[in-house]
Structure 1
Amino acid sequence: MDPLSLSALVVRILVATAFIVMGVNHFVPRSVRGMAAMIPPRLRWERITPRALVHLTGVCEIAGGLGLLFPPTRIAAGIALVVFLAAVFPANAYAAKHKERFGALAIPFWPRLIGQVVLAALVLFAAIF
């Protein structure tokens, strides 16, 4: 196996594992409460509760992580995870603005944004190579 393929395999396994673990965390009651509170008021709807959105995003993370591990779904999963990262960023930005309310969950805006971009790049690398 060439070095690029080996690197991609290692990154793929690490990124997939991270998404699967983060997705499972969306079903831990204490985590669900904290994440549900992070959903900005403008993104709350009558028909879908914040807790349901947390569960839905957990399913998306688990599915995306698993999808990265299977060659037939790897590229689609990578694209979906990048879209997912963009979609959940408003909740992270909202938490960053309210550090007094969210404590450790409130990662400052710019480090969080840089982290999301780096993670998206790693996802694409894992999906494409």
Structure 2
Amino acid sequence: MGFGYSLTQTPTGRLLRRSAQPEDRPAIFAAQFALSHACWLLTYPLAGWAGARFGLGRTFLILAGLAVIGIVAATRLWPADLVDDIAHTHPELAPDHPHLHAHGANPHRHPVIIDELHRMWPAQARST
């Protein structure tokens, strides 16, 4: 069980770290903590109720079904062809903006993290 838990938590931590600026990481880890515990808040009582009502075998199948639904949703919602280094522009920034000095003039490429300058994932993120 511990091995399975670490198989899921290690990539989660890496993904969260990669998805936020250092100053935003406490908030994103707190949000992930709250979301995971909200899921537990629903599944723990479900496991207890189903275990008492249907037995452990059927309860396992119910919870495994929920896990499969989560995996299918993740694979459909998270595009497999996302790239890290994304070409994009910032037409709203002045030519002397520090971001453009750091990464080059429009268009430029760098790994995108959702922040004040990148409020939405650029459309060019998917490879063709």
Please state which structure has a larger fraction of its residues in helix: 1
Q: Which has the larger radius of gyration?
A: 2
Higher relative contact order (CA 8 A, sep 6+): 1
Q: Same fold (TM over 0.5)?
A: no
